[in-house]
Amino acid sequence: MTSTRIALLRWQSDLTWSLFEYHLDRLEEADFLAEPAASHVWTVRPAPDGTWVPDWADVEPDPVPVPTIGWLSWHLGWWWSTALDQVRGRVPRERTEVTWPGDGASTVAWLRGLHTEWNAALDALTDADLDVEVPGLSPEGPPCPRAQLLAWANAELMKNVAEIGRARLVRAAA
């Protein structure tokens, strides 16, 4: 039987995901790399080896760059991949090990696959698993209970879904 805490985390994740599906179904290829501002934009760029590399700074710039949907979708996939590593008791991958798929359809399939993996990981947990300490929410952060990691991941999902949805709506209205 699923614990009340796990059921709540799963409900929160499912609710946010259902809102995301609305946008995923409507994203067009051109939406992913469209730059939402004339300057000071973060995106994903092809590297010489054919992979896609996100713009990045170890210290967040001020002002914060405006991200493309491509960058936002990479960011979502990156932290979700590392959160899955932590939930499964693995060492989280380095940021540079998680690459953007390179086109809209592949990106949507990647994110949907991560969603499926996330649900399977949540379904495999017991209530006792939620209290186990895992590495912090950032490499510099202190360890935290797995439940806190899951709640943070749901909050990150909600934030990224809202940003991608807003960017798609602005492009659609233009």
In a domain, 119, yes or no: yes
Neighbours of 69 (CB within 10 A): 27
Condensed to tens digits (0 to 9), the pLDDT of residues 53-108 reads: 999 999 989 999 999 999 999 999 999 999 999 888 888 889 999 999 999 999 99
In a domain, 130, yes or no: yes
In a domain, 57, yes or no: no
Condensed to tens digits (0 to 9), the pLDDT of residues 114-170 reads: 999 999 999 999 999 999 988 776 666 788 899 999 999 999 999 999 999 999 999
CATH of the domain at 11: 1.20.120.450
Could you tell me how many residues make up the chain?
A: 174
Beta bridge partners of 100: 52
Domain that holds residue 101: 4-47+62-173
**DSSP labels for 94-151?**
PGGG--B-SSHHHHHHHHHHHHHHHHHHHHT--TGGGGSEE--SSTTSPPEEHHHHHH
Residue-level pLDDT at 1:
57
Pick the residue with more confidence: 38 or 42?
42
Burial tier of 22 (Cβ tally within 10 Å: 0-12, 13-18, 19+): exposed
Determine the Cα–Cα distance for residues 85 and 67; give it in Å rounded to an integer.
Answer: 25
Determine the Cα–Cα distance for residues 97 and 158; give it in Å rounded to an integer.
Answer: 23
Contact of 40 with 65, CB cutoff 8 Å: yes
Q: How many domains does the chain have?
A: 1
What DSSP element (H or E) covers 18? Answer: helix 4-24
And the tokens for 144? 């935290």
In a domain, 78, yes or no: yes
In a domain, 137, yes or no: yes
Question: Is pTM, for the whole model, over 0.75?
Answer: yes
